[in-house]
Amino acid sequence: DARVTQTPRDKVTEMGQEVTMRCQPILGHNTVFWYRQTMMQGLELLAYFRNRAPLDDSGMPKDRFSAEMPDATLATLKIQPSEPRDSAVYFCASGTGTARKAFFGQGTRLTVV
Amino acid sequence: GENVEQHPSTLSVQEGDSAVIKCTYSDSASNYFPWYKQELGKRPQLIIDIRSNVGEKKDQRIAVTLNKTAKHFSLHITETQPEDSAVYFCAASSNDYKLSFGAGTTVTVRA
């Protein structure tokens, strides 16, 4: 049963530190999404890629967040410097262009103290 | 951009009754509408989806309807069971593949 894999599962860090979250999409999927989930804002789209090219990162605070896909098997989301308001669960999802179905990873629970 | 509104935000039903969640979307170009179920502490999981060339789709106790003219779609769960208790999200997407989510509905099935 193919799944999207995210690491780490949990991360506690101090304000000002750099945080890197990683995502391994399902093999063969060419669309990758990064979402942030909080109680107040629900599922916010931060960025998404198609065939490794960024299509939209308008949901991301550009001054501190960056998203990349170094290759087809790895997507990264980096926060530098981190702030307490970044505390949330960050989900990666992948899908195929044809089927349109998107599947979520287990998420990374980030706590910035 | 696409704006998806979802109602109600919470829904409590007696076991065995039906539950209905409604969503509206703003972008007439949207043509793909998935529904996700998220249990506490877990990932959102795709439970059913519908494309704009279809008006209704059913999978066992779950059905989704789409009204393109009115730009709204709904999730129907029949014969609800305690394991149906979760947060349900609707979403919409057009040919740009961008998936925009509603705010979620917390469904509680009372035994």
Q: Which residues is B79 bridged to in the sheet?
A: none
Minimum Cα–Cα distance from B39: chain A residue: A106
At B11-56, the pLDDT tens digits run: 999 999 999 999 999 999 999 999 999 999 999 999 999 998 889 9
Phi, psi values for residue A14, rounded to 5°: -90, 150
DSSP per residue, A62-105: TTTEEEEEEETTEEEEEESS--GGG-EEEEEEEE-TTT--EEE-
CA–CA distances in Å: residue A101 to residues A53, A58, B42, B51: 19, 22, 18, 11
Per-residue pLDDT reduced to its tens digit, A80-108: 999 999 999 999 999 987 768 899 999 99
C-alpha distance from B23 to closest chain A C-alpha (Å): 15
Peptide bond just before A61 cis, omega within 30 deg: no
**Per-residue model confidence as pLDDT tens digits over A21-56:** 999 999 999 999 999 999 887 899 999 999 999 998
| Residue in A9, A45, A109 to test binding to B, most B beta-carbons within 10 Å | A45
